[in-house]
Amino acid sequence: MDIIIEIGTQEQKLIIEEELRLITNAFETKIGYSPLSKILVPSDFDAAINQILASSTYKSVRENHIALAKTLKTQYGIVIVLSSTIYGFENLIRINTIIHELFHCYNPNFHKEFDYSNPSEYRYKFNLYHLFDEYQAVRGSYTTICQMFQPMPFYYLRNTITTFLSHINSIVDKSIYYNKMKDEIIKFRFTADINNFLQNIDPIFKQVIMDIIYIYAIYDCTVYFRKYDNIIKSSPFINNNSDGLINFYRDKYNKRNYDLDDGYDLMVEMTKNFGMEFWEVEGGEYCKVLNI
Ligand SMILES: [Zn+2]
């Protein structure tokens, strides 16, 4: 495996490389193989990812979110790209980010191919698998750190709680996403412009559903977070549909079972929380807009 460090002095490069080798070797030893071909810490994160993806549109800074790392499938194998930003973080927060990406790259579903010929089925299955990938990476990395470093340093605990609460705020405060979604649904009732509706709902869907995954993946690491039950449940996005999907992910995670096909209907129900239901029609897919 290659490690390429484009930041820091010669001495810093060696320290960064040594840390990455230590962490990846620990993973490899535990699991018994390495799917990883390269780790890159580039001087320009966005440019490096665009180069690997042969695109020009990737941006790490998005609404309410900054990407600090990315795991990519390339023709040469799996590549993890780490933002130089993480080298300004405290140790365990940086290590958590690195371990998170390793969980992605060791997920057996990372190489799963989906059938594109049926657009609705593709949409639901892709989301079902992709969200579980994120759930296991978040829960796996936090759990690993909790097991390895006891007692937990205060700064790490504080950072975890802050992250957890910011995701909760995003789904509980209706003015951040929920009201915007309701407005889009009302607008659709007047215009019937489905493309415009989907285009505007999509970024909200991606952000909120990821918030929900982060909340429960962190929540499931320790009983400490149970005291936030009532506030989480006060979110309009949390109901039987979200409970069904999260309980399914918990069960699969505990059993290390990566076959998720039996959760398809749960993903269909979860998507209804965002005012959308899809099915196949001749020549494409149909979206029914639901009230939320
Ligand atoms: Zn991730």
pLDDT at 33: 81
Arithmetic mean of pLDDT, 173-194: 95
Arithmetic mean of pLDDT, 75-102: 95
Highest mean pLDDT among 98-112, 138-152, 240-254: 240-254
pLDDT above 80: residue 144: yes
pLDDT at 98: 96
How far, in Å, from the CA of 210 to the mean position of ligand 1? 10
How far, in Å, from the CA of 215 to the mean position of ligand 1? 13
How far, in Å, from the CA of 186 to the mean position of ligand 1? 33
pLDDT above 90: residue 225: yes
How far, in Å, from the CA of 72 to the mean position of ligand 1? 11
**At a CB cut-off of 8 Å and minimum separation 6, what does 116 contact?**
122
Structural domain boundaries in the chain = 2-106, 155-289
Average pLDDT of the chain, as a whole number: 94
pLDDT at 278: 95
Long-range contacts of residues 50-53, Cβ cutoff 8 Å, at least 24 apart: 52/79, 52/81
Q: Which two tokens stand for residue 292?
A: 């939320």
- For residue 207, the Cα-to-chain-centroid distance in whole angstroms is 9
Question: Which residue's structure tokens are 């040469």?
Answer: 76
How far, in Å, from the CA of 104 to the mean position of ligand 1? 7
How far, in Å, from the CA of 136 to the mean position of ligand 1? 9
pLDDT above 90: residue 152: no
How far, in Å, from the CA of 284 to the mean position of ligand 1? 30
Q: Render pLDDT for 18-30 as a digit per residue (tens, 0 to 9).
A: 999 999 999 888 8
pLDDT at 113: 85
How far, in Å, from the CA of 142 to the mean position of ligand 1? 12
Q: Render pLDDT for 37-65 as a digit per residue (tens, 0 to 9).
A: 999 999 999 999 999 999 999 999 876 67
How far, in Å, from the CA of 195 to the mean position of ligand 1? 28
**At a CB cut-off of 8 Å and minimum separation 6, what does 128 contact?**
260, 263, 264, 266, 267
How far, in Å, from the CA of 47 to the mean position of ligand 1? 20
pLDDT at 167: 96
pLDDT above 90: residue 32: no
How far, in Å, from the CA of 192 to the mean position of ligand 1? 35
| Residue 100 phi, psi dihedral angles, 5° rounding | -55, -50
- Whole-model pTM above 0.85? yes
How far, in Å, from the CA of 155 to the mean position of ligand 1? 22
Arithmetic mean of pLDDT, 266-283: 94
**Peptide bond preceding 151 in cis form (omega within 30 of 0):** yes
Q: Render pLDDT for 101-131 as a digit per residue (tens, 0 to 9).
A: 999 998 888 878 888 888 999 999 999 999 9
- Surrounding ion ligand 1 within 5 Å at CB are 137
How far, in Å, from the CA of 141 to the mean position of ligand 1? 10
How far, in Å, from the CA of 62 to the mean position of ligand 1? 15
How far, in Å, from the CA of 204 to the mean position of ligand 1? 18
Percentage of the chain modeled with pLDDT above 90: 81
How far, in Å, from the CA of 68 to the mean position of ligand 1? 10
Q: Show the DSSP H helices in 32-61 as ranges.
A: 45-53
How far, in Å, from the CA of 260 to the mean position of ligand 1? 18
